[in-house]
Structures are given as C-alpha cells and as structure tokens.
Structure 1
Amino acid sequence: SRLGLSGVPVAAETIALHTIFELVRVTGARVHLSHVSSAAGIALMREAKVEGLPVSCDVTVNHVHLIDLDIGYFDAQFRLDPPLRQQRDREAIRAGLVDGTIDAICSDHTPVDDDEKLLPFGEATPGATGLELFLSLTVKWADEAGVPLAKALNRITAAPAAVLDLQAAGSVAIGSVADLCVFDRHAHWRVEPRALKSQGHNTPFLGYELPARVRATIVAGRVAFEQR
C-alpha cells in the first residue's frame, strides 16, 4: 500500500509457508516452494531445513536483483508476481543462495504482450521475459556478490535438476544428454527489445548492459541456437 496500490504483503507468504510446513510434518510429503520472495519467508525455510523437513525452494532472478524502489514512477515493466520487496529481502535472498537455504534460481519467464504493459501499473499484466536474460543475470549476480561462477551456475543447472530428481540433467558427462549452453564470459550485450526473440519484449532490465553473451545453445545434441 506504500505505493498507493493494493499489495501482496509478506504475511501472505509466511502464512502460506507455515501452513505448508505443518502439512509436511503431518504427511511427510516432499514439497518444493517456488518464488519465495521475502526475508521472513527465507528464515522460515531455513528453520524448516534445519528441522529436517523434506522441502526445497527457488527464487526468481528478478528478485535477486531488483527491489520495490526500482519501480520508480509506477513503471509497468516492474509489475511482477510476486511483487518486488525491500532491500533487506533482496539481501536475504542473496544470502540464502550462498548458504544453500535457497536451492535454485528460476527465470520466471512470463512473456507479456506490449499492450498488456501499456496499462497503468495496477492494471498491467504481471510478468516479464526472463529466459533470454537468465544466464547473464546469474553471472551479474555472481560478479556483484563475489560468488564463484561455478557455484552460481549450479543454482540454475545441477541444483534444479536435483530438486526434480533428473539424474541425467544439469551435468556434463560422457553418456549424458547433450543439453549445453556455450557463452562468452567476458562479452557484454545491451538489453533492447530488438535483441529479444521471445513473444514478449518486456523486461525490467531494458537498457541494462549485461555480461555473458550466449553463443550457442545445444538441446539433446542438436544446435537450437547459434549467434552468427
């Protein structure tokens, strides 16, 4: 409500987490929680893991970088779900990624057509193109936080594969499926609508200069994308 709009408070997240964890205690069910966004939610997740509950979680790459103040003058590009939270929440997210409380980062790829972002902030459709920026934003986080590149990449490859129990995914080994991304660690590129191939060209990172340019993508041994 600070921005004059109806919000999704942190309590909405923590109440849901309390309920889910209680159900896990009763049933023993394995649960993955997607898009945790608050410091309070991450603290509950940390406690649940210490307790030994079979739970895991992810955060969106948008929340790894952005906070509510980035919305500025109600820029609809920043209309996301869950909403962007405060700086302390972003700090908790980054700390949780380093200490393993948070298992994975997701792209939150939700392409939105231009006309759905031309509406006033409160009426605009939540979402942003994320897949094409996913690697670069992960590397950007690694650079800013001083996280080793291999550890950062683990959060978007092997770690999510482990959550899904995909034995042949997320690793490079003889006999494994050749799902590979070839990128130039030191090449930078500017995020512009014409540079995006997705159905939606909307992202809060428009105009950003990002590291790690993808040169080729190989899916099941076949070249799906190659920069020419």
Structure 2
Amino acid sequence: MAKLAGVTPSQAMQDAATTGQDILMTTPQGRITLVPRGRRYNQPATMSIPFGWIMRGGIRYRPDKPATDAVASRVDGGTARRISEPLRARYGVLARTVTLDTAVDADPANWTSWTLAAFGEPRTRCPLLRINLLKRTIADRKALLKLRVGDRIQLTDLPAGSPEDVPHLIVQGFRHVIGPHRWRILELNTSPLLGPLPGSPPACPVVGDLVSNAAIIAY
C-alpha cells in the first residue's frame, strides 16, 4: 500500500519498486512493469553460457561493496537499524539506507535483516557481457534472445582464478549492436545473485494470503 496524494504516477511506481526491492522497467512494447524480487530468488538458471562464447575483452568485473550497517525508515513511521559487528570488523563501516512506503510495521526491521544477509559479503558484478551472435548456432541465438530482465544465468568453464561468485548472475538489461541486415552483438548487463553464499539466494517466504492486505513478503 502507498499514499498517492501529491505523488506523480511514475514516483508512486518507483516508491513501490524501492519498497519491494523490485526492478522497474519498460518492456519493448512500451509497458511499464515490475520484475518482483521474489521472482529472482530460488530459481534455476534459465540458461548456461560457456565462457568461450564471450568475446575477447567482452567481460567486465566490478566489485560491489558489502553492507555492514543497515538503516530502514518507514514513511510516517519509525526507523530500524541493524549492525553486524563481525562484518564491520572485517570490512569497516559500510552503511546502506532506504525509506520504505509500506503499511507493514515490521518491514523496516525485516529489510535491515535481509540486507545484512543478502549484501553482507562482497559480490562481483559483471556490468558487461558481450557475445557475438554471428558465431553462435541458430538454437543458441534463439536461447540468448529469449532472455528477459530478472532471468538467472550461469557462466560455465570460467578460467582458473575467477571469483567464485561470478558464475551466478541476474540479467539486469540488454543492448543490441545491430549490423546492416542482422543482429551482430548482444550485450548483457548483470548483477550478482544475492545470498549468504555464492549461488545460494536467501529465502523469500510469503506470510499470509497474497490477495489480502495482510500479506507480507518477508525480507
């Protein structure tokens, strides 16, 4: 639930996405839609992509800082804060804050617990995966072009010494590099799969009936 008075439709949708930790996106058909957080958890990989498919220089790594201090405020409500002393001792003070437009009193505390569980350890982000479609079979091209935002992919046959969390990724966006008559290159933007261990996303249980106002998607 969110208060809509004095808020533009786009801001209301963004507030809902922030509160739910969802991905707000526009489809190729021009429709604004949400990819819910729950859909990105505990799902099997939609597709495995061998490292050999990636173009030379077509993969980029970026470390994401962990969270050791989580603070969540509720619109017209209270604030919850959780600190992990073991994580702070290991990584320092790294705060993450959010304002939740929620009708559930427990959500700020739920969010802080979930944040430390999901983001407490460093993650390796791959902001760029570049694949030359002309070198792939028709079946491979179809599978790659069917990927959608929110899908989980898995990289296989990575070189020795690659970060252990790199194979487990969530698709965040696409860019198509198109030649005169056909697709040439597919670029994927991805984020790391969250969780206490690489490849093990945290649980996302639903408390109550989803069609009732009392339903809670626990953080």
Larger RCO: 1 or 2 (CA < 8 Å, sep 6+): 2
What TM-score results when the alignment is normalised by the length of structure 2? 0.22
Point out the structure with the larger helix share.
1
| Structure exhibiting the larger radius of gyration computed from Cα positions | 2
Point out the structure with the larger strand share.
2
What TM-score results when the alignment is normalised by the length of structure 1? 0.22
